[in-house]
Amino acid sequence: MMKITHVLKGLVAMAMMISGLSAQAQPGDSGLEFDGAHIILNAEEYHQVFIGIGGSVSFYNQYFSLSEADREAVLRLLAVDLNLKFAKNYVGDVPANDPSEFENSSTYWADLKRHNPNINFQLTVNNLPDHLEGDGEGHDPTIEGVLDSIANYYFKALEYYHNEGLSVLQLDVLNERGLSEKTTDLFDIGIDKLREIINDPTKNPNGVPMPQVCGPSTWSAASPPKWIEDWKQNRPNAWNNVDVVTTHGYQQGTFENYKAIFEVAEGKPFYNNEQTGKIQDDEGTGPNAVDDLARQFVQGEEPDHIGDVSIAMRMSDVINAGGNAFFPFRLTNSNGNNAALVGTRNGVYTPSKIYYGVKHISSVQPDSSYRVGNTSMLTDDYRIVTFRKPGEDTVYVHVTNVWPETQPVKIAVGDGSKAFGIKSVVAWTSNETLEFEEVWNEAFDLSTNAIEFTITPHSVNSFKLAVDPAGFELLKRAQSLTFPPVEDTEVGSSVALNATSDPGLEVKYEVLSGSATIDNGTLTVSGEGEITVRAYQEGNTEYFRAEETIMFCGTPAKPLITREGDVLISSSESNNQWYLAGTPIEGATGQSYDVAEDGTYSVEVEVNGCSSFSDEIRATVIILSIDEELSHQFRIIKNHEGYIEIVSSNDARLEELIIYNLFGQVISKYERLDTDRVTIDAPLQPGLYMIRVVDRTGNRKTLKVWTNE
């Protein structure tokens, strides 16, 4: 057996300072220095009852190929050791057309019931009989009386098992279908017709009971709220006919989606009634865990040692979201770790690691246990689910360590205002070297208010704690922090952080993300982008820890605009966006911008979602024009350097160019040229000018040129 480290401090009323729960402080207590995961149970905060687990009976050839002794061993593993509450079977036809399927499944069901008479049976309609199927998904609505035939198909299956002494508690109306009028018809009209058959003694002489109706049993956990909202609005009878809301979790099987199902279920029971132990690539396991675990869980087969972790975290998410039952897929088959609780390949049975993960939650706490509240300082790399049965002073804690690192945990119990005493603890662990073993069993002479335990990498851990509600009184008080917002700050600049604690205790700071450093309460921005800073006060013997978080931008250096003629130039070489009168100019993202119209211009520089704006600059377009009759021979432009150019439109070579002002005075003269383009490098004041142009053939033209700048 591997070595498990557990530490109990202060079996005599010592203080392990836990957020919300504490005891009388004693000399030598090191609770404040504890560097681990704090789990706080509120044993009086009751939520839903967790009924238990279920699973499908299938792969009969594998099961029946076992020896009689091995079959009995498998049945005990499932029905007794796992405390199995539901066994489901899939049907696709009436008994007369598929007698071996019904005979095998009823034998398997009966075998389970011998070992656990309290097992309930669920029948899932996987397929409709071939003669009722349409061209697309679902039944053929053109068949006369097709819904009557489907209702009779349901009844025949229910009647068969009832006559075998195995009455079906729940009917899953269909399996993994899409929301459509045809599927809605089954829940609406089809169930009403089934109820008519069951209530008619002439059609139901043996008294087959009406089962609870389950649905929609979708592939994705994100789908049921859409179905339910649609039914509530458009087909309320379909929704009223549903007794148990069901889903699978193969896609988007996240806590948030399970919570959304619970919130629209209006108090109806909610089951995840099919789920493998293989993690899906869109499931939430924390920002870091997703990346690393995906390599193990998604890309190919999951490793054997991780199966208990993957199923336990999945069960925890469903239960914490309000789920009443969880169905691993399947009870037995030959696929091994990903699906079966017990593999039955080649005449040999083998419990999978998934089996042991399920066992932690299905067999530790007693029946009719309620989920109770808990808080912790754990990340998404862990899963915690906690239980208590009303009237009993025992609580149950399940901690799944998704991460491949050891982690110390501290567990305390209370009622929200005071700590309970912990009188004894029993702990079980499974990990890559353990299947499911008791690793700690201790009763204390004097109760303590917290226990400490080291959870191993990739492990599922269960704790049974006997508690004394007349335990330790709450001594510490809450404190609050005020953390004023910080304005966006330019890279290289510093700003003072001014968080305060209402009792006046010293506040510390840490950079959670972004490029910045903090020295003695002064933050210096070292890079562009969003910066997240936490202010925290560690607490003491009188006050609990408190913290507040703010976010702001480390902005790029403020850009400067220079002007060269009609060209505006930003001091930033990249990440520019030019504005005219405060409105972004489409496509103007270069370092320079050619002014096309009079107005007020500015430029924004954005890096990593944070930006700085320049001061505004007023720019006026220089207007240049020539006589209309000569416009086809010459063009007059202003180049990027800000100089005026005279350009021959017909490629004639220019020999001489003389500029006269309005008074006939020569302003500039360019001689002995041999070019089709002349740059006037002398500044021209606003006004009218005469420009005499002589080309190489001796032709002389006089241009009238106006400029406003």
Structure tokens at 433: 């070297």
Pairing of strands 342-343, 529-537: unpaired
Asked if pLDDT for residue 550 goes beyond 90, the answer is yes
DSSP string, 55-67: EE---HHHHHTS-
| Residue 564 predicted with pLDDT over 90 | no
- Please state, in angstroms and as integers, the Cα–Cα distance from residue 311 to each residue in 345, 346, 357, 359, following that order: 21, 25, 6, 10
Which residues on neighbouring strands pair with residue 500, listed in sequence order? 482
Q: Which two tokens stand for residue 146?
A: 């097709």
Say what the pLDDT of residue 404 is. Answer: 78
Name the nearest CA neighbour of 124 among 170, 65, 71. Answer: 170
Phi first, then psi, for residue 643 (nearest 5°) are -95, 150
- Can you give the pTM of this predicted structure? 0.64
Q: Tell me which residue of 420, 394, 448 sits closest to 31, measured CA to CA.
A: 448
pLDDT of residue 70 exceeding 90, the answer is yes
Per-residue pLDDT of 416-444, as tens digits, reads 878 899 999 999 999 988 999 999 999 98
The string of pLDDT tens digits covering residues 513-523 is 999 999 999 99
Band (pLDDT 50/70/90 cuts) for residue 251 is confident
Residue 235 has pLDDT above 70, yes or no: yes
Q: List pLDDT tens digits, range 289-311.
A: 433 444 444 444 455 567 888 89
Task: Give the model's pLDDT for residue 36.
Answer: 61
Q: Let me know: does 31 contact 15? Beta carbons within 8 Å.
A: yes
Percent pLDDT > 90 in the chain is 57
Task: Give 700 or 24, the one with higher predicted confidence.
Answer: 700
Question: Does residue 283 surpass a pLDDT of 70?
Answer: no
* Mean pLDDT for the chain overall: 84
Residue 555 pLDDT: 92
Mean pLDDT check: name the lowest of 117-131, 346-360, 639-653, 672-686: 639-653
Residue 18's pLDDT is what? Answer: 32
Average pLDDT over residues 249-274: 93
State how far the Cα of 457 lies from the Cα of 429, in Å rounded to an integer: 11
Residue 639's pLDDT is: 63
Q: Could you count the other beta carbons within 10 Å of the beta carbon of residue 559? A: 21
pLDDT at position 304, please? 59
Between 161-165, 353-357, 496-500, 703-707, the lowest mean confidence (pLDDT) is in 703-707
Residues 446-465 pLDDT 10s: 788 889 999 998 899 999 99
Quote the pLDDT of residue 384: 93
Q: What's the distance, Cα to Cα, between the start and end of the chain in Å?
A: 91
DSSP labels for 614-656?
PPPEEE-PPPEE--GGGTTTEEEEE-TTS-EEEEETT-PPEEE
Average pLDDT over residues 331-335: 74
Q: For residue 379, what pLDDT is reported?
A: 54
Tens of pLDDT along 507-544?
999 999 999 999 999 999 999 999 999 999 988 877 87
What b-and-e string marks burial along 667-686, b requiring 16 or more CB atoms within 10 Å of the CB? beebeebeeeebebeeebee
Per the model's pLDDT, the better-predicted residue between 121 and 20 turns out to be 121
pLDDT at 702: 83
For residues 409 and 427, give the distance between their C-alpha atoms in angstroms, rounded to a whole number.
13
Quick one: pLDDT at residue 23? 28
- Segment 681-696 shows an average pLDDT of 81
What domains are there in the chain, each with its CATH number? 6-48+369-468 (2.60.40.1180), 51-363 (3.20.20.80), 481-555 (2.60.40.10), 561-619 (no CATH), 624-707 (2.60.40.1930)
CB 163 within 8 A of CB 97: no
Q: CA 631, 632, 633, 636 torsion: positive or negative? A: positive
| Side-chain-side CA neighbours of residue 227 (13 Å) | 33
For the stretch 118-155, pLDDT in tens is 999 999 999 899 889 877 678 888 899 999 999 999 99
